[in-house]
Chains A and B, each alone.
Chain A
Amino acid sequence: MACGCGVDPNAGKVPLRYMAWGNPEQMALEQHLCEEFNQKNPDVHVSFLRVPGDEYGLKMMLMLASHTAPDVMRVDHYNFPSLVEKGYFLDLTDLANADTSFHRNDFFPQAIDECLYKGRLFGLNVLFGGVLIYYNKSMFREAGLDDPADLAKRGQWTWDRFRISAIKMTKRDADGHPTQFGFGAPGSGSTFPVLACAIWGFGGDMLDPTMTHAVFDSPGAIRAFQMIADFRWKDHSCPTQAQDANSLFTFEGGKLGMVFDFMGMTPRYRKVIHKFDWDVCPVPSGPFGNPTLCKGNQLVISAESSHPKEAWRFERFMTSETTENELYVKLRRCFPTRKAMAYSPEYLKSSLPPFNNWAFVDSVANSRPLPINDRWSEWMTAFSSEIDNLIAGRERDAGPVLRRAKIKVDKVLADEAGF
């Protein structure tokens, strides 16, 4: 006893297990938050279970199926609809209604909507945010182009202006090899965020509102896909998949004038970009405006948790004003889910780039959710295998490609799930 051997300092406390994934910085922050929660809540002890990102989805699924899931989990929204439908997560509606300090109106409606299933609340949003454009200000200046954020403020930041800017910033050496491109999409060959913004901007969509049929063959969607393909294969202002592979042309390396990406890229760009000026601006406008996509992760409670009240308390802590202020206002790891935080002077004014923080707020306020349903993974695979013909340049006409993609995706959506 004198040396304290064998005495569990957490004996008598309610044990909670929390599971998440992320890069080392994110993991360190979440560990710190767990410790802070434990200090402020002496009756509860949260232990933090880190899982590598590549294995997270599979591990979570197996834990849920084998009834060993932790009390609280972070779930990527790509997986949320298929898992909530299986009844793995606790319905939080009653806990939220009983909590007098919880007001749905405090949050952006998009952040709440992502956590709903059949009108009931099954999670709280974290690491939430939309897609916008990070741009190389120095490159814009050198090319004699207007600043896109200024154009956006004047309502002149259109896909046509975007196209002209991208062409002007693309450079080649004497042998014709590209040395920098006007824009790029995140990931090797992935163009999905750009596609979603463009599709909506031209009045198209991916699935019908019931999410049972694909509508890629609508005129707006075809126009958007054709434009994206032409950027690459007619204008050559965007790297091909081969050029894009192996991180040869990156935004942080000063090789891309613009990049479409999620808001959570800010800390990384702040850390690694020192050689040029950069900032953010909204996605360009099409005939139907400039809606962008937003997505987050959901903090959910296992339906089998023995301590739902304590787990809810932990979730509230992880989405509290204090936590959001630390994570999203000071560190900019993503976008706050709380409106008051996003519109606060502390968020809108910063001493480090990006300075156009209004673009984050406008983008989220003007955002839409992706049509993620319980068959998302399947129909996206079917869609990607067909659309790859256009993106890789094997076909140049978007119409036939999209009509085939629609047939494939409709077949997936019509098939009985599970076969």
Chain B
Amino acid sequence: MSVNRRKLTHQPGFWGFLFISPWLLGFLIFTAGPMIASFWLSFQKYDLVSIRYVGVENYRRLFQEDPLFWKSLKNTVFYALFSVPLGITGSLSIALLLNQNVRGQRIFRTCFYLPSLVPSVASALVWQWVFNADNGILNTTLRLIGITGPQWLQDERATPWAFIAMSLWGVGGARMVIFLAGLQGIPESYYEAAKLDGASSWKCFRKVTLPLLSPVMFFNLILGVIGSFQVFTSAYVMTGGGPNNASLFYALYLFRNAFNYFKLGKASAMAWILFTILLVLTLIQFKTSKRWVHYEGDDK
């Protein structure tokens, strides 16, 4: 017995697995388990009371008979198309500014990071005020310059733009910090060499900063796309999916099916469709990344 035990403890990786076992157990029980269960549920008609195998009927109904499924997908894709590039540009711009060696640099960094510490429900409530068509700060400011702002949260043409604008609230958060870390990882000597060769600041940015920052940008892009497809809280709090389903995002419709209508099978099918979409999008990003992501030490 003792020999066996000694053998086990001498196995390569034993201590590693032992030390990560709390995480491993948590992952298996709380992530992998529910994922497998939801895959199985997506082929069932399940309302928490009765369960019946229905094959691919949940998927068929979603694709062929559910206009709200397509509407929610369209809303989400539209949101992602604008919020991801705007978010990445915004985060990078702030990171570049905060990377300047100026007085009060730490205070600026703290100030820009602060909004991301506000709980998402609280910030959604604040934005509800900002977007108030009659008394909100946005339309009041627009009125000062002679523009009549739209009914941001009541007009279905304006609502998607309101949510895209609101997504910029988080540009100073974790994404910006990652960019900042990436910027600080670029050796100063590269810039000095470029400047000695007569490169302008813009050229330095294009030829030195951007290529060396591309792995960080790639990371932020993948997370940004995934995050934008999961947008939920703001719409749940501010509009409930309205007006006329203009802010019915995919995750909100999924939630409604699961926890308002108790269509757990349909909601599970939606979750797996979302997973597949995100998987495909991520694979495409990985494939195309070879063209624009530069890794130091890479032969290319």
Contacts and interface: CB of A to CB of B under 8 A. Distances in A.
Interface of A: 58, 61-62, 64-65, 82, 86-88, 177, 189, 240-243, 245-246, 248, 377-378, 381, 384-386, 388-389, 392, 394, 417-419
A162 B243 CA distance: 29
Contacts, number: 76
Contacts of A177: 134
A385 B128 CA distance: 20
Nearest to B259: A58
Interface of A is mostly: helix
B229 to A, nearest CB: 22
Contacts of A240: 134, 154
Given A246-B128, A419-B57, A385 B45 contact: no
Given A189-B154, A242-B133, 9 more contacts: A246-B132, A248-B132, A248-B134, A385-B245, A388-B243, A392-B151, A394-B243, A418-B47, A419-B266
A388 B242 contact: yes
**What are the 4 A-B residue pairs with the smallest beta carbon separation, nearest first?**
A242-B133, A65-B48, A86-B49, A418-B47
A62 B245 CA distance: 28
A243 B136 CA distance: 10
Contacts of A243: 134
Contacts of B135: 246, 248
Nearest to A382: B68
Contacts of B294: none
Interface of B: 45-50, 57-58, 61, 128-129, 132-135, 151, 153-156, 241-245, 256, 259-263, 265-266
A82 B262 CA distance: 10
Nearest to B156: A394
From B134, B259, B260, residue with most partner A Cβ within 10 Å: B134
Nearest to A85: B49
Contacts of A417: 47
9 contacts: A65-B48, A242-B153, A242-B154, A243-B134, A394-B155, A394-B156, A418-B50, A418-B262, A419-B266
Contacts of A61: 48, 259, 262
A392 B47 contact: no
B49 A87 contact: yes
A189 to B, nearest CB: 8
A108 to B, nearest CB: 30
B128 A381 contact: no
Given A58-B259, A394-B156, A419-B61, A242 B243 contact: no
Contact of B265 (A88, A388, A394, A418): A418
Contact of A245 (B49, B50, B132, B266): B132
B128 A245 contact: yes
